[in-house]
Amino acid sequence: MADYRSIYQRSLADPAGFWGEAARDIDWYKPWSTVFDGDLPPAGRWFVGGELNTCHNALDRHIAAGAGDRLALIYDSPVTGQKRRYTYTELRDEVARLAGALVAHGVGKGDRVLIYMPMIPEAAMAMLACARIGAVHSVVFGGFAAPELATRINDAQPKLILAASCGIEPNRVIAYKPLLDEAIRLSSHKPSACLIKQRPQAEAPLVAGRDHDWDTAVSRAQPAGCVPVAATDPLYILYTSGTTGQPKGVVRDNGGHAVALYWSMGNIYGVNAGDVYWAASDVGWVVGHSYIVYGPLLKGCTTIMYEGKPVGTPDAGAFWRVISEHGIKVLFTAPTAFRAIRKEDPDGKLLRQYDLSRMSALFLAGERCDPETLNWARAMLDKPVVDHWWQTETGWAIAANPLGIEQLEIKPGSPAVAMPGYDVRVLDDNGKDAPAGDLGSIVIKLPMPPGCLPTLWGNDQRFISSYLTAFPGHYLTGDAGIKDANGYLWIMSRTDDVINVAGHRLSTGAMEEVLAGHPDVAECAVFGVHDEMKGQLPLGLIVLKAGVQRDEKDIVAELVARVRDHIGAVAAFKQAKVVARLPKTRSGKILRGTMVKIADGAKWSMPATIDDPAVLKEIETSLKALGYPRA
């Protein structure tokens, strides 16, 4: 079997040779002249001179190889009771017709198309149709508020918008069209047309002259072929939150993206053509781009589009039902999904009702995975559970346990080791390598591997100032953590979640890890609040497991004692409160930054990505009960 260490060292010593070899697994219309040109601004480009088409590599080439009858996509929607299956040939034909409809509306190579869709097959088709004709797609999470959508319309300046009439949650229907209409009204840039996929749960009125019925437009269109694009041409723009309030448009190129994702499917996740792979995320997030749509299809796998939740559709056995029914080999989801399942079914009674024998591994990412959740999942599944770490900006894992190369030791709390191409360093405030085990800023020494962002849309300077300026010659991840003596990384928190208590730099993530180990705690959040004497003090909010009836004072006292025992008195952890739920984004990330603002009495606004605005109001009430904000 291959050896991770030798593969990793080769990727750093000879990146051109390593990735040039990996790129042979992709079909090229024209080979590259240079594997990596570090002189191209702002931070170099991969596969310069090469031409390819991402949609061809995801669909057409598998059909040409005789795999047209293999299942490409399974749509499973417990909220509508629908299931649909598409072979590679069927999906290619649907994509080609949709691409033809885009061409008929004047969309061509380099034009932007904004996609505002729920988790239905047409969302994946929309992305692939853009890739097919060389257009640049920008997916905005379905249901985003109109002002947020308007900022993205203004920045990307799409020629056309692809949208659905509504999205469906377990207990409500969200009408998308009024949000889209208001966003277009607010934006200075106006798209020339919108194609609207009507869903029977909430059909939308169309604006004459601008809006067109999706199904009608597709039925009249001539199928479009694949258009060759440069490897360095953008495939998509994906907006992520910016510190200024103005979202950052992360650019993904065609060549490096295809090479990196194809490589990752076999080497990190251990899946091959014909395997069923499920990323339980949303196409609006980077996980959906990389591992619902592009990665599995580039590899020739069957991918799952799931329109449902981990609990409540109908119960905490929802994931197990999907895995069993569709024969899923690898599941990739966020730790918050498993915390929700564990909270509702701590003993795994629902899990035991399903046959999970075809499942080989669970991968978790999107936020820090506390050891308690990872250990629970390992005990329930009796399979490898891999915490891995990456970002919207990188597009694939920075650190992981590469099951397709070599299964390394699993250390709960660590996303394991750096993946090939990523020269990960931990630096102190002076830009020097921190000693093993010391907390510092996690950076990646340039060049970044293929698949990572080459720049921000229309703003090279912001890319440089956001990522390349703090530690010259390195990409700033914005995460803080440690690297142990064996090269394992421990991502403790975002850099701004490292709090300073009386001059001591402390990780709130480390405190959360301790709290999560308490037998009554389902999930928790720790964040720093302003203190006149010590600068900052940690405050914990706790969600208890279902059925826990103990007195809150007793639980809080035990939690304070745990932090003192595990971290020390220096942490000054003395305050915690039990809450019904934590405020999260729709992708499951806890909104710690917003809670800090509420506790400190700073100005705050309702995040556009929030899953349920009512939760922040509940948190505000809980913080007031603790005396925050201080007078």
Q: Are 142 and 183 spatial neighbours (Cβ–Cβ below 8 Å)? A: no
For 505, phi then psi, to 5°, come to -80, 120
Contacts of 200 (CB under 8 A, 6+ apart): none
Reported confidence tier of residue 502, pLDDT bands at 50, 70, 90:
low
Q: Are 495 and 466 spatial neighbours (Cβ–Cβ below 8 Å)? A: no
Rounded Cα gap, residues 8 and 420, in angstroms = 5
242 or 322, greater pLDDT: 322
Rounded Cα gap, residues 359 and 280, in angstroms = 14
| Span 276-305, average pLDDT | 97
In this prediction, residue 244 carries a pLDDT of 47
Cα angle for residues 625, 627, 631 (degrees, 5° grid): 145
Rounded Cα gap, residues 334 and 583, in angstroms = 15
Rounded Cα gap, residues 19 and 38, in angstroms = 14
Reported confidence tier of residue 499, pLDDT bands at 50, 70, 90:
confident
Instruction: Reply yes or no: is the peptide bond before residue 205 cis, omega within 30 of 0.
Output: no
In eight-state DSSP terms, residue 376 is: H
**In 369-474, alpha helices (H):** 371-381, 460-463
In eight-state DSSP terms, residue 59 is: I
Question: 4-308+388-423 in CATH: which number?
Answer: 3.40.50.12780
Whether 4-308+388-423 shares its CATH topology with 502-625 is answered no
The per-residue pLDDT of the chain, averaged, comes to: 93
In this prediction, residue 504 carries a pLDDT of 60
What are the residue ranges spanned by the domains of the chain?
Answer: 4-308+388-423, 502-625
- Which range has the worst mean pLDDT, 247-256, 340-349, 487-496? 487-496
For 586, phi then psi, to 5°, come to -65, -20
Q: Which tokens go with 598?
A: 């509420």
Cα angle for residues 297, 300, 302 (degrees, 5° grid): 70
What's the pTM value of the predicted model, to 2 decimals? Answer: 0.85
**Residue found by looking up tokens 């991968």 in the block:** 363
Rounded Cα gap, residues 445 and 466, in angstroms = 15
In this prediction, residue 497 carries a pLDDT of 67
Cα first-last separation, the chain? 63
| Span 249-272, average pLDDT | 98
The CATH number for 502-625, chosen from 3.40.228.10, 3.90.180.10, 3.30.750.24, 3.30.300.30, is 3.30.300.30
For 280, phi then psi, to 5°, come to -85, 75
User: 353-363 pLDDT, tens per residue?
Assistant: 999 999 999 99
Tell me which residue of 483, 508, 485 sits closest to 495, measured CA to CA.
Answer: 508
Q: Is 287 helix (H, G, I), strand (E, B) or coil?
A: helix
| Span 576-598, average pLDDT | 88
| Span 576-583, average pLDDT | 94
User: 134-169 pLDDT, tens per residue?
Assistant: 999 999 988 777 888 999 999 999 999 999 999 998
Q: Is the pLDDT of residue 496 over 70?
A: no
In this prediction, residue 41 carries a pLDDT of 95
Q: Is the pLDDT of residue 230 over 90?
A: yes
Q: Is the pLDDT of residue 241 over 90?
A: no
